[in-house]
A and B are shown apart, each in its own frame.
Chain A
Amino acid sequence: MTNSNIIDRSKRYTNPYLSGFLLGMVLLATFYITGRGLGASGAIKSTVVATVATVSESHAAGSDYYSKFISDDNHPMNNWLVFQVIGVLAGAFLSGALAGRLKLKVEHSPKISSRTRLIMAGIGGLLFGIGSQLGRGCTSGTALSGMASMALAGFIALLTIFGGGYLFAYFFRKFWI
Chain B
Amino acid sequence: MTGPLIPMGIIGQGWDLVIALLIGMAFGYVLESAGFSSSRKLAGVFYGYDFTVLRVFFTAAITAMVGLLYFGYMGWIDLSMIYVNPTFLIAAIVGGLIMGLGFIAGGYCPGTSMCGVAIGKIDAMVFTGGMFVGILIFSEAFPLIQGIYESHSLGAVKVNEVLGLSTGTFALLLIIVALLAFIITRIVENKVKKVEY
Q: How far is the CB of A82 from chain B (nearest CB, A)?
A: 8
Does B138 reach chain A (CB closer than 8 Å)? Answer: yes
Chain B residue contacts of A104, Cβ below 8 A: 120, 122
Are B59 and A118 interface neighbours, CB within 8 A?
no
Interface residues on B, range: 35 or more
Are A139 and B111 interface neighbours, CB within 8 A?
yes
Alpha-carbon separation in the docked complex, A38 to B197 (Å): 29
Q: Which of B84-137 contact A (CB under 8 A)?
A: 84-89, 91-111, 113-115, 117-124, 126-137
Q: How far is the CB of B133 from chain A (nearest CB, A)?
A: 6
Chain A residue contacts of B176, Cβ below 8 A: none
Chain A residue contacts of B154, Cβ below 8 A: 152
Chain B residue contacts of A24, Cβ below 8 A: 59-64, 67
Given A27-B60, A169-B104, A118 contacting B122 (CB threshold 8 A): yes
Are B17 and A27 interface neighbours, CB within 8 A?
no
* B11, B56, B87, B197: residue with the most chain A Cβ atoms closer than 10 Å: B56
Q: How far is the CB of A23 from chain B (nearest CB, A)?
A: 4
What would 15 more interface pairs be, CB under 8 Å, given A36-B83, A87-B25, A153-B86?
A: A20-B56, A23-B63, A28-B64, A32-B76, A41-B110, A63-B142, A88-B31, A96-B32, A125-B128, A128-B103, A152-B159, A156-B92, A160-B96, A167-B100, A177-B193
Interface residues, chain B, with chain A CB atoms under 8 Å away: 3-7, 11, 16-17, 19-35, 37-41, 43, 45-47, 49, 52, 55-65, 67-68, 71, 76-77, 81-89, 91-111, 113-115, 117-124, 126-140, 142-143, 145-146, 148-149, 154, 156-162, 167, 170, 193-197
Interface residues, chain A, with chain B CB atoms under 8 Å away: 2-3, 5-6, 9, 13-14, 16-17, 19-38, 40-41, 44-45, 47-49, 52, 63-66, 78, 80-81, 83-96, 99, 101-109, 117-118, 120-140, 142-157, 159-169, 172-173, 175-177
